[in-house]
Amino acid sequence: MVNLEIERVSVRFALPGAVVNAVSDVSLTIRPGECVALVGESGCGKTVLASALLGFLPGNAETAGSAKLGDVNLLEATDHELATKIRGRQIGLIPQSPASHLTPVRTARSQLEEAAKTLGGNADRAAERAGLRPEHLDLYPHELSGGMAQRVANALALVGDPWLLIADEPTTGLDRDLVDGLLEEFRRMVDDGHAVLLITHDLEAAHKIADRIAVMYAGRIVELGPAHDVLDRARHPYSRGLADALPDRAFTPIPGLPPLLTDLPAGCAFAPRCEQATVICEDRPVLTDDPHAVACHRPC
Ligand SMILES: Nc1ncnc2c1ncn2[C@@H]1O[C@H](COP(=O)(O)OP(=O)(O)OP(=O)(O)O)[C@@H](O)[C@H]1O
Ligand code: NI
């Protein structure tokens, strides 16, 4: 097994009269045997980064940087190469809003069995791992509740036993028991030598299973380190605000809104919301190169 080496990846969308800088200069290595959680507010670029890795960006997207899985640069691979070698086999994706990715005219079982046949996996085993009962499998997508559709999508991503699973908000609509069951399944995979990139708003979920946490703000990673360090001793004022808003801490969420991705400031994008900011924050801070990395001139 190899690492996934994401190096200086940027993704921009060209719109009439504007450019959306959705992901800027993201570097992150994901290794077998670890779970990395990618957290941050809605719209900070988490899903766009995942889509870039699997070749799911729309035509108006432009990418820079590289994402290497062995000798394959995922950002330059052809759709054929991604479809036959990567997706589902090496990298499984649990997409955000899974219901829209299921084929409406076919039962969950037929979709899962087809994936199992193509990828060489076991449909029943994947369904069980995702917390589905056999009777759920005979339903059509429109008959599935949100939580059940989520479990079908989770099973589809697990069936080919990919070494890396990218799970984009995989706990949406699941009640606590199912969330815990799924997180335990992810942890088992990781302990078995797989890797999981868990994209989530749910810091509690990240706290439970992640080895490392990457905090994203306005398209950039602003803090990256061991999960407990990032949650309990956050260095970036933004991460500290996120961690302080955990239910058992219950401080007020950070006031204000992130900047528009079409109009990013030249300096630190968080500065306008930051109580620590001074004039030095008009220069963009770079992410430090240490095990608990932070991009901030005035870390906590
Ligand atoms: N095809 C597109 N064209 C233009 N802008 C886009 C496109 N797709 C995404 N964006 C923008 O890129 C930004 C990042 O979106 P993304 O979906 O990655 O956020 P996210 O962090 O996954 O948020 P959430 O937590 O709500 O899922 C958003 O501002 C979004 O509007
Ligand atoms: Ni998203």
User: Mean pLDDT over residues 30-42, rounded?
Assistant: 96
Give the start-to-end residue ranges of the domains of the chain: 4-82+164-171+194-294
Is pLDDT above 90 for 255?
no
Residue 139: pLDDT above 90? yes
Tokens describing residue 63 = 């990418």
On the 0-12 / 13-18 / 19+ scale of CB atoms within 10 A, 43 is: middle
| Cβ proximity of 267 and 283 under 8 Å | yes
Counting residues of the chain whose pLDDT is more than 70, the rounded percentage is: 99
Q: Separation of 56 CA from ligand 1 center, angstroms?
A: 13
For ligand 1, atom 16: residue with the closest CA:
45
Please, which pLDDT band fits residue 245 given cuts at 50, 70 and 90? confident
171-186 pLDDT tens trace: 888 888 889 989 999 9
Per residue, what are the HEC states of the chain? CCCEEEEEEEEEEEECCEEEEEEEEEEEEECCCCEEEEECCCCCCHHHHHHHHCCCCCCCEEEEEEEEECCEECCCCCHHHHHHHHECCCEEEECCCHHHHCCCCCCHHHHHHHHHHHHCCCHHHHHHHCCCCHHHHHCCHHHCCHHHHHHHHHHHHHCCCCCEEEEECCCCCCCHHHHHHHHHHHHHHHHCCCEEEEEECCHHHHHHHCCEEEEEECCEEEEEEEHHHHHHCCCCHHHHHHHHCCCCCCCCCCCCCCCCCCCCCCCCCCHHHCCCCCHHHHCCCCCCCCCCEECCCCCC
pTM above 0.90, yes or no: yes
Q: What is the pLDDT of residue 99?
A: 80
Do 112 and 138 form a contact (C-beta atoms < 8 A)?
Answer: no
Q: Does residue 164's CB lie within 6 angstroms of at least one atom of ligand 1?
A: no
Q: Is the pLDDT of residue 195 over 90?
A: yes
pLDDT at 248: 79
pLDDT of residue 81: 97
Q: Is the pLDDT of residue 199 over 90?
A: yes
Task: Give 146's pLDDT tier (boundaries 50, 70, 90).
Answer: confident
Pocket test for ligand 1, best of 9, 21, 39, 46 (most atoms within 8 A of CB): 46
ipTM above 0.90, yes or no: yes
pLDDT value at position 153?
Answer: 92
pLDDT recorded at residue 2:
87
Position 1 pLDDT exceeds 80: no
Residues surrounding ion ligand 2 at CB below 5 Å: 46-47, 96
Q: Would you state the pLDDT for residue 178?
A: 86
The domain 4-82+164-171+194-294 having CATH identifier 3.40.50.300: the answer here is yes
Q: At residue 252, does pLDDT exceed 80?
A: no
Point out the ligand nearest to the CA of residue 48: 1
Structure token digits, residue 112: 């899962």
At 119 the pLDDT is 94
pLDDT tens-digit map of 52-106: 999 999 999 999 999 999 999 999 999 999 999 999 999 999 999 888 888 889 9
Query: Is the four-CA dihedral 299, 23, 82, 76 of positive or negative sign?
Result: negative
Residue 88 has what pLDDT? 94
